[in-house]
Structure 1
Amino acid sequence: MEKPLQTWMLCQASYYIEYMQPKKSIALLEALESMTPEDPDVYRMLSYAYLQADQPEDSLRAADNFLRYTPPGSDVRAINWIKGRALLKKRKSAVSN
């Protein structure tokens, strides 16, 4: 994939996340995921977009993929925060059902 197109798609996805439009962000990020399956940035953003869209299980899956493709020693505090929120949503959903 051409780097300028990938950068544009990541920027657009970030914009949609910032303005609480997770479904649009997810569409872009899932396309990027299929084209660049080992890019941790895609999984980090995808995990957050799924969290916004109230899809905690998908958020956790994307977070685990982020951790799989992130180089050792990288800062993973943000993804740990996202995972924590996704686990809370998953538990709340299980209790309310």
Structure 2
Amino acid sequence: MHSSSRLKSLSPLPMIGRYANAFRVGFNAFELIIEFGEQFTDNDDDEHLHTRIVTNPVAARALLSALQQALEQRSAALLNELPGVRDTPSDRDPDASIT
């Protein structure tokens, strides 16, 4: 896993990884709320949300920048490592649906 920063966990507990392919984003006057979950089929209207992150706009912009950088690095690495493989349209289109 590549990371754009070297943050250390403040918790003595091990970090738990969860898979997410469904996202819900909301906001209020001071915060952005990002919910993560799983959608099991394309016809599954139920998103099974399991994690909620509440953050401020400055941190949300940093997250957006880190995600964009990671996607660009991933695309470049795949193109270099796998000749003949092209990015999918969703890799190139920032407006492509994620869920």
- What TM-score does the superposition give when structure 2 sets the normalisation length? 0.32
| Greater strand share, structure number | 2
Structure with max Cα Rg? 2
- What TM-score does the superposition give when structure 1 sets the normalisation length? 0.32
